[in-house]
Amino acid sequence: MLASALYGWKESFQVYKNPKVLAMLFLGFSAGLPLLLVFGTLSAWLNSEGIDKTTIGLVSWVALAYGFKFVWSPLVDRLPIPIFSSLLGQRRSWMLLAQAGIAAGLIAMSTSDPKANLAAIVAFAVLTAFSSATQDIAIDAWRIEAISDDFQGAMAGTYQLGYRLGMIVAGSMAFVIADYTSWSVAYLSMAACMSIGIISTFAISEPDRKLSNEEWKTEKRVILLLERNGYLPEKIRRIQAWFVGAVICPFADFFARNGWKALLILGFIAVFRMSDITLGVMAFPFYQDMGYSESEIGIISGLVGKFITITGALIGGLLVVRYGIMSMLLGGAIIVIATNLLFAWLAGQEPLIIWLVLVVGADNLAGGLAGTVFIAYLSSLTNRAYTATQYALFSSIMLLLPKFIGGFSGIVVDTAGYPIFFLYAAALGIPSVLLIVLIMKRGQQTTNARP
């Protein structure tokens, strides 16, 4: 028996009826749509244009924007956008700005030719990825602030549902459109789909950010200390106070609450997704090189696979509510390694549809379950006083090392071939399992000091 049950099964299912939980479906869609368009789908587009694998792998570094979002997350957390923040609130105004940037980037990519001007594609992909990462910061903050901890597993599950629906559109629909028309038309269509995110931003309400006195006292003490520097101009003192409160305090708070275990936690976060992200860079080129058509890839990987991921995400949300986070986190890490090994097996098979369905289905089921559990874990680590900044730190660390290592995927494939690459990708998941066991052994709790 795993950890003691937290809720009965009936109560576990009821959480998905909460309106705020349902709202995550649409916000998740808006967050999931751009990712493949600067990652896997972009790799397939470049591969179809004859761009070499090494270059494709290096272009995937565009997605490093997701790994550096903690750098500007304090701005999203505290800096108001003139006019818009007063009308929509802090979270929604930043969502809207980011969504506009995503749409503009996708439109610009649709007008570019990879063969004639690869640099332009990369530049517009950077704009799209930067805007998408900014949107993630705002949505994650809204998700954590909008509801209590008891619902975070369900919020993560519904978020994953919407996220995967967005990826279905960016994967399946984009591939089918490209197969029958062109990649330019496909990307223009994806830009139009961002209207769902924009409408959702106007439909939801701004969360009521109730901060505890102790958290704000910490910032006030810092501000008072800075104000003693009376020899400095008022504007400079205010900038200092804002910087310390918005940038320094969130990180100091995390280390103060966790002590030396903070390094262990951050180390685990850094390696958890190395396996699946590294594999993901070359997944679509692998399917193409195996002999599967764009439509087959789009339907199986982009459609069937993502619906299986949704199933895994919802199961993950239920299991978190039922059994808690840590046990499910360990189980998720193990099954991700196991399913990634299936790709090494697939590389030696004939390109039959049944084999692709089997491998993609298993991989997506594992990814959906592990993804939901991991999001719930990261959410549990944040303090509501610094929600956007702290969660951005965690999710950035989660992506930074995997995205960097993933950039060398094309070199591994060109040098050693696909079977060795997939074994290498699976082995990258072993450190996460070891660190989860160590964290559990040290008694790391998933609770936090948030009100």
In the structure, what pLDDT confidence band is assigned to residue 226 with cuts at 50, 70 and 90? low
In the structure, what pLDDT confidence band is assigned to residue 213 with cuts at 50, 70 and 90? very low
Output the pLDDT for position 179: 87
Residue carrying the six token digits 């960016």: 170
289-343 confidence digits (pLDDT tens): 998 887 888 888 877 877 787 788 778 877 877 777 888 888 888 988 988 899 9
What CATH number labels 10-205+215-441? Answer: 1.20.1250.20
401-431 confidence digits (pLDDT tens): 888 898 888 899 989 899 999 999 999 999 9
| Top-confidence range, 18-22, 223-227, 398-402 | 398-402
Whether the Cβ atoms of residue 367 and residue 160 lie closer than 8 Å to each other:
no
Q: How far apart (Å, rounded) are the C-alpha atoms in residues 377 and 367? A: 15
Q: Which of 87-96, 211-220, 359-368, 415-424 comes out lowest in average pLDDT?
A: 211-220
pLDDT at 446 > cutoff 60? no
| Top-confidence range, 44-53, 96-105, 363-372, 391-400 | 96-105
| Top-confidence range, 133-147, 237-251, 258-272, 412-426 | 412-426
Higher pLDDT, 243 or 310: 310
| Top-confidence range, 141-145, 353-357, 375-379 | 353-357
110-157 confidence digits (pLDDT tens): 999 998 899 999 999 999 999 999 999 999 888 888 776 666 667 777
Output the pLDDT for position 157: 72
